[in-house]
Homo-oligomer: A and B are copies of this chain.
Amino acid sequence: MLNRGYDGQNCSIARTLEVVGERWTLLIIRDVLLGLRRFDQLQESLGIARNVLTDRLNRLVDEGVLERVLYSERPERYEYQLTKKGLDLNIALTALRQWGDEYLSEKPPRLLRRKVDKMPIVAALVPKGTKTVRADEVEAVDGPAATGSAPRRRSVRSKKQ
């Protein structure tokens, strides 16, 4: 068993990792940000065991990062949506993506842009008070290295393989 808990760490990074640091958790949040909202879509995108996905989703709902929303009454079916708290993880996810783009991927599989004017968006350190872009004002689109194996908006399948 993995030793649980960053106990004794008076640190907001450690507390954050308690909530989103488990394996797969940040990739689940990434996929919901990309528009995958249903259990089967997430399971297909991530290729993980259903019990692991169930466990992670329940934890994220308990923590108020995701909420379960009824989308079909008969049969009763729920999808997952990000709360404001969940959406606010977009800065950290964008920063992690950028770092991977810079150092680990040959070309970016995905790019972030502002919805309203398609302006490219980056995560950065800026002085407090700088004009920033809200997490709900941006969208991720395929970059030069996009393939079918990347999670895609609304679970559309690959256009090239």
A94 at the interface (CB under 8 A from B): yes
Taking the nearest CB of chain B, how far is it from the CB of A59, in angstroms? Answer: 14
Contacts of A119 in B (CB 8 A): 127-128
A141 at the interface (CB under 8 A from B): no
The oligomer's copy count stands at: 2
- Which chain B residue lies CB-closest to A150? B10
Taking the nearest CB of chain B, how far is it from the CB of A13, in angstroms? Answer: 5
Of the candidates B3, B10, B46, B125, which one forms a contact with A145 in the assembled complex, judged by CB atoms under 8 Å apart?
B10
Contacts of A125 in B (CB 8 A): 90-91, 94, 112, 121-123, 132-135, 138
Q: Mark A10-21, 1 if CB is under 8 A from B, else 0.
A: 111111111101
A38 at the interface (CB under 8 A from B): no
Check if B122 sits within 8 Å of A123, measured CB to CB: no
Check if B122 sits within 8 Å of A12, measured CB to CB: no
Contacts of A120 in B (CB 8 A): 127-128
- If A15-B105, A23-B2, A104-B15 touch, whether A124 touches B91 (CB-CB below 8 Å) is yes
A-B contact pairs, 26 of them (CB 8 A): A2-B23, A6-B27, A9-B27, A9-B149, A10-B146, A11-B110, A12-B96, A12-B99, A12-B101, A12-B104, A12-B108, A12-B110, A13-B96, A15-B100, A15-B104, A15-B105, A17-B27, A64-B103, A94-B125, A95-B123, A119-B128, A121-B126, A122-B132, A126-B130, A126-B133, A130-B131
